[in-house]
Amino acid sequence: MARVALVTGGTRGIGEAISKALKAAGYTVAATYGGNDEAAKKFTDETGIATYKWSVADYAASKEGLAKVEADLGPIDVVVANAGITRDAPFHKMTPEQWQEVIDTNLTGVFNTVHPVWPGMRERKFGRVIVISSINGQKGQFGQVNYAATKAGDLGIVKSLAQEGARFGITANAICPGYIATEMVMAVPEKVREAIISQIPTGRLGEPEEIARCVVFLASDDATFVNGSTISANGAQFFV
C-alpha cells in the first residue's frame, strides 16, 4: 500500500512542487489550502491530487479536516507543514494583528497540523514530520520580526519532536529554503529581485522543485537516521 502524505498549502508555490514530487515518488497525496479555490481547482485538474480546505490556524478545523483525509485516503504517514504567510513591517510599525496572524498560521499552524496525527504515528511506529522553515528563521530579517520568530520556532519544534518521536519510528526535520522563484518572489520589482540574486553565491533563485526533492528524501526510508535536522537549501547564502 502506498504511504499517505499530507502537504499543507500544497496547491501553490513550493507546496505545489512538494505535492507533485511526493506523488511522483509513489505516495498517495492530499494537498490542503486556505482559501484560494481557483488555484486549488486548477491544481487538482492538472495533477489529480485531492485537495482539502481549512485554515491551519484553527485547531478544531485542522483536526476535523485531517480526520476526513484519513477517512478518505488512510492513515497519514508523512505530514509536510508548509503553509505560511508573511505580514511584513518594520518592528516599530508592526501591529499586534500582524504579529498574531503570522504566529497563528506559521507557528501554531504547525502544532495544529502535527498534533492530531501524532498519536496515530506513535501507534503505527512510523511517521515523517517535515516543516518548511526559512533562511530568515536562521538569520532574522529586517521587517520580519513576526515571520522570523515563527520560522525559528519551527526549528525548536522539530528538534523537540525528534526526541519525542525517535523511539516510535518517527522523524521530524526542517528545511530552510533561501529565496525561491515562487509567485511571491517573482512579483517583486526586477531591480529588487536582482539585488536579492546578487547576494546569492549560486547566482540565481532556487526552484520549488529543489525544495521538493529535499522533502522526498526526508520522507524516504533512506532518511531514517536523519532526525531533528535542518536542511539549508539556499545557494550558499551564509549568514553568520
Please name which of 25, 22, 29 lies closest in space to residue 6, comparing C-alpha atoms: 29
**Binding of ligand NDP by 237 (CB under 6 A):** no
Q: How far apart are CA 202 and CA 216, in angstroms?
A: 23
Using the rule CB under 6 A, give the single segment among 20-28, 82-90, 112-120, 165-173 that binds ligand NDP: 82-90
**Binding of ligand NDP by 55 (CB under 6 A):** yes
Residue 101 CB burial class (10 angstroms; 0-12, 13-18, ≥19): middle
Cell digits for 123?
A: 501507534
Of 131-190, which residues contact ligand NDP (CB under 6 A)?
Answer: 132, 134, 177, 179-180, 182-185
**Binding of ligand NDP by 98 (CB under 6 A):** no
Which C-beta is closer to ligand NDP: that of 126 or that of 235?
235
CA dihedral 203, 204, 206, 210 (to 10 degrees): -70
**Binding of ligand NDP by 84 (CB under 6 A):** yes
Cell digits for 40?
A: 486549488
**Binding of ligand NDP by 85 (CB under 6 A):** yes
Which C-beta is closer to ligand NDP: that of 132 or that of 170?
132
Residue 59 is a catalytic residue: no
Which C-beta is closer to ligand NDP: that of 126 or that of 215?
215
Q: How far apart are CA 139 and CA 125, in angstroms?
A: 35
Q: How many angstroms separate the first and last alpha carbons of the chain? A: 45
Which C-beta is closer to ligand NDP: that of 6 or that of 162?
6
Q: How far apart are CA 29 and CA 73, in angstroms?
A: 8
Residues that bind ligand NDP (CB under 6 A): 8-9, 11-15, 32-36, 39, 55-57, 82-85, 105, 132, 134, 177, 179-180, 182-185
Active site positions, annotated? 147
